[in-house]
Each structure stands twice: as structure tokens, then as C-alpha cells.
Amino acid sequence: MTSTESRFPYQDATLTVDQRIEDLLSRMTLQDKAGLMFHEMAFVSDLDEPGMFGKPSLRSSLDKRMNHFSTLFVPTARELSSWHNPRAGGSISEFVKSNETVLIS
């Protein structure tokens, strides 16, 4: 992305790293920053289903602006792709649309 194509200064590769970081951090809420500090476990299931080992539901974690998840159990590859694919109406897709990034590993 060039500076003429950039929507925000943090996307402008012509700026210094420090300038880009400062711009990005200034746009984030405290909840966004805190959410980046966690890497949560997740099941490929309904967002409201209780998590493993007494953990809260995935929706609860997403509501706290967490956005990095490791899947612990995936029944099939098809189920994982449909869970994440907005075209398939997957559970996680509503958060992919509203929050810019949700990473699943």
C-alpha cells in the first residue's frame, strides 16, 4: 500500500515505524490494547457454548476485544472453514465483520 492508497497514517509505508505505531496506538481503545495481550483457547462451536475447563464462552472473550485464539478441537476441516467463513454464515464471522481481525490458529 502506498501513501496515496493509505486510509490511515499507520498504513503509510513512507512514515517511520515510530510514527506508524504512535498513530495506530492512538486509535485503539484501552480494551483493544488489553485484548491484544491475551491468546485464548477456543472450540469450533457455537459462540455462546461454555468453554473448556470452566472457561467462559468464546463470545465472552470476543466481547472483551480478545482477537487471538488457538483452536483446541476441530471436528473436521469443513466445520472449521464454515465456522470462520462469512459466506457460510459461520459463528465467528459476525466478529470478523465488526472487529477488523480475529486470528485463529
Q: Residues with Cβ < 8 Å from 13, sequence gap 6 or more?
A: 1, 2, 3, 6
102 versus 37: the higher-pLDDT residue is: 37
What does pTM read for this prediction? 0.59
Query: Helices marked H in the chain — which ranges?
Result: 17-27, 30-35, 58-63, 77-84, 93-98
Per-residue model confidence (pLDDT) at position 100:
47
CA 53 from centre of chain: 22
Domain boundaries, the chain: 1-28, 38-104
| pLDDT number for residue 78 | 79
What local confidence, expressed as pLDDT, does residue 17 receive? Answer: 97
Higher pLDDT, 1 or 28: 28
> Tens digit of pLDDT for each residue in 67-99?
777 877 777 887 777 776 655 555 665 555 544
Residue with more model confidence, 47 or 34: 34
Return d(Cα 10, Cα 22) in angstroms, integer: 8
pLDDT in tens, 5-42: 778 999 999 999 999 999 999 998 898 888 888 877 77
